[in-house]
C-alpha cells in the first residue's frame, strides 16, 4: 500500500471539508476538491451532480473518493420539498460519483459521510452499535438511503461510512450558536434536558477520516467521543464561560412551533458505542467535554 494517495473530495468547501483538506495534505496526500461554485483555486474543480457535469481533470490518478456532500440538516424547516432536498443531495451525489468512477481505474476506497441519528430512540440507556437496526423516523430514512447509495461502490472498492455526531468547533455549526445564548444570559437546556447529545471535536472527526484512509478501513463507524445530556452540555459550557443559567428549560412545544418537525434534532437523542473505531487503533484527542471547552474558550 502506498503511503500517500490522490483523493477526490466532494464537499471539500464545507466546514468539515476545509479542515479535512488541510489534514490530508499535511499527511502527504494530493486532494482534488469538487465544488459547485466557480472557484479558480488550485485543485478545485467544478461539478454538478444534478446536471451530471464534472471536470474530468479532477479524476486523474484518483484512488480514493471521500464524499461529504449533502444539504445541511438543520439549515431550514423540514417542508416536504426540503426533505426531498436533504435526501436527494446525498443520494444524487453518490450516484453520480459511482457513474464517473468508471473513469477511475485504480479506485481503492469510497468513504461516505453519514449520520449518527439513525438508531431507535426507544431505549434511553442503550449504547447503539453499528450493527443495530435503523429507526423509523425521518433522519433514519435519510441515513439509510445515504448509506445504500454508498454501498453501490462495494463492487469496485472498499466502502466506509462515518456516522457523524454533533461536531464541535468555534468556526461554525452548533457550538457558536449555543455559546452565544449562554454569553448573552439566555442559555437554557432544551426540552427535558435529559436527551442525549453525542459529540466529537472538529479535529477528531477529521482524524477519523484520515485514519480510515491510512488503514484502508471499511464498514460503518460511529464517530463520537462521548455522549452527555443536553442539560449537562449546557451547564458545562456555562461554567467554562462563567455565566449563570437562570432561565427555565425551553419547553418542547415552543421548539416545535419554531422548528416544526426539525425540533426532533434537539429534542431526541441517543447514545452510541465508539468501540469499533477504537479497536482499529484510533485514539481521541478530545474525549472530555469540560477539557474541550476549557481549551476552546480559555
Tell me the pLDDT tens digit for each residue of 123-153: 889 999 999 999 999 999 999 999 999 999 9
Instruction: Identify the pLDDT of residue 191.
Output: 94
Give dist(CA 266, CA 195) in Å, integer: 8
**In this predicted structure, what is the pLDDT of residue 32?**
97
pTM score: 0.95
In the chain, domain spans? 6-297
Nearest to 290 by CA among 251, 214, 234, 243: 234
Q: Yes or no: say if 201 and 209 are a contact pair by the CB < 8 Å rule.
A: no
Average pLDDT of span 283-288: 97
φ and ψ of 292, to 5 deg: -65, -45
pLDDT tens sequence across 71-114? 999 899 999 999 999 999 999 999 999 999 999 999 999 999 99
pLDDT of 1 higher than 80: no
Beta bridge partners of 221: 162
Q: How far is CA 272 from CA 78, 123, 127, 162, in A?
A: 25, 11, 4, 13
Q: What is the mean pLDDT of the chain?
A: 94
Looking at domain 6-297, its CATH superfamily turns out to be NAD(P)-binding Rossmann-like Domain (3.40.50.720)
Task: Inform me whether the pLDDT recorded for 39 exceeds 80.
Answer: no
Amino acid at each position: 500500500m502506498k503511503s500517500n494517495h490522490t483523493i477526490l473530495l466532494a464537499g471539500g468547501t464545507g466546514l468539515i471539508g476545509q479542515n479535512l483538506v488541510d489534514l490530508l495534505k499535511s499527511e502527504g496526500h494530493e486532494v482534488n476538491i469538487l465544488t459547485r461554485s466557480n472557484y479558480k483555486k488550485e485543485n478545485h474543480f467544478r461539478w454538478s451532480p444534478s446536471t451530471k457535469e464534472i471536470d474530468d481533470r479532477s479524476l486523474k490518478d484518483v484512488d480514493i473518493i471521500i464524499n461529504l456532500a449533502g444539504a445541511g440538516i438543520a439549515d431550514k424547516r423540514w417542508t416536504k420539498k426540503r426533505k426531498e432536498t436533504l435526501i436527494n443531495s446525498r443520494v444524487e451525489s453518490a450516484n453520480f460519483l459511482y457513474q464517473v468512477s468508471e473513469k477511475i481505474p485504480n479506485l481503492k476506497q469510497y468513504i461516505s459521510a453519514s449520520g449518527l441519528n439513525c438508531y431507535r430512540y426507544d431505549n434511553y440507556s442503550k449504547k447503539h452499535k453499528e450493527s443495530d437496526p435503523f429507526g423509523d423516523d425521518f433522519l433514519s430514512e435519510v441515513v439509510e438511503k445515504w448509506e445504500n447509495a454508498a454501498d453501490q461502490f462495494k463492487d469496485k472498492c472498499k466502502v466506509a461510512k462515518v456516522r457523524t455526531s454533533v461536531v464541535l468547533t468555534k468556526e461554525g455549526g452548533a457550538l457558536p450558536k449555543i455559546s452565544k445564548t449562554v454569553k448573552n444570559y439566555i442559555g437554557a437546556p432544551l426540552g427535558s434536558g435529559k436527551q442525549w447529545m453525542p459529540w466529537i471535536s472538529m479535529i477528531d472527526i477529521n482524524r477519523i477520516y484520515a485514519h480510515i484512509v491510512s488503514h484502508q478501513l471499511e464498514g460503518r463507524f460511529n464517530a463520537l467521543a462521548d455522549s452527555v445530556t443536553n442539560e449537562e452540555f449546557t451547564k458545562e459550557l456555562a461554567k467554562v464561560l462563567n455565566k449563570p443559567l437562570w432561565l427555565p428549560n425551553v419547553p418542547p412545544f415552543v421548539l416545535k412551533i419554531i422548528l416544526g418537525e426539525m425540533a426532533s434534532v434537539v429534542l431526541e437523542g441517543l447514545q452510541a458505542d465508539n468501540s469499533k473505531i477504537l479497536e482499529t487503533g484510533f485514539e481521541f484527542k478530545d474525549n472530555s467535554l469540560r477539557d474541550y471547552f476549557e481549551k476552546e474558550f480559555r
